[in-house]
């Protein structure tokens, strides 16, 4: 691997804003990005709510998952994907992927983390 190539990491987040597990997975994605990985975050099931525009979970998480997600997208250029939006209005930088695309996200990935 050349010094310019970045290893890819996939973080699969299954737990939504009602649980700290989802937020910790977002923090793990941030750490991987800061560590030099090219990060893809897959928000599945209840975790899709993290991708919703205007969601704030600060009151019960004691942290700002939305700011973490914005940092992933804006500062680390992470690819943030949801598999089902269920009518949610997605925040900027979060995109909807079909089942085939979501299933192919793991190809060529050096690190996979799932919450």
Runs of H (alpha helix) within the chain: 20-34, 58-61, 65-74, 99-104
pTM of the model as a whole: 0.87
The architecture in CATH of the region 8-114 reads 3-Layer(aba) Sandwich (3.40)
Mean pLDDT of the chain: 85
Using alpha carbons only, what angle is made at residue 43 by residues 76 and 87, rounded to the nearest 5 degrees?
115
26 close to 65: Cβ distance less than 8 angstroms: yes
CA atoms within 13 A on the CB side of 92: 5
| Domain ranges, ordered by start, for the chain | 8-114
CA distances from 114 to 4, 25, 47 (A): 27, 7, 12
Percentage of the residues of the chain whose pLDDT score is greater than 70? 89
Nearest partner of 41 among 6, 71, 1, 4, judged by Cα: 71
Give per-residue pLDDT as tens, 55-93.
Answer: 665 555 566 777 888 889 999 999 999 988 788 888 899
């Amino acid at each position: 691997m050349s010094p310019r190539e970045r290893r890819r990491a996939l973080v699969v987040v299954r737990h939504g804003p009602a649980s700290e597990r989802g937020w910790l997975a977002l923090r793990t994605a941030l750490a991987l990005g800061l560590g030099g990985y090219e990060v893809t975050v897959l928000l599945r099931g209840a975790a899709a709510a993290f991708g919703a525009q205007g969601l704030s979970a600060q009151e019960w998480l004691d942290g700002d998952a939305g700011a973490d997600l914005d940092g992933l997208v804006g500062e680390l250029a992470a690819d943030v994907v949801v598999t089902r939006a269920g009518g949610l209005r997605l925040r900027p930088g979060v995109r909807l992927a079909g089942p085939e695309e979501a299933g192919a996200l793991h190809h060529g990935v050096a690190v996979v983390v799932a919450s």
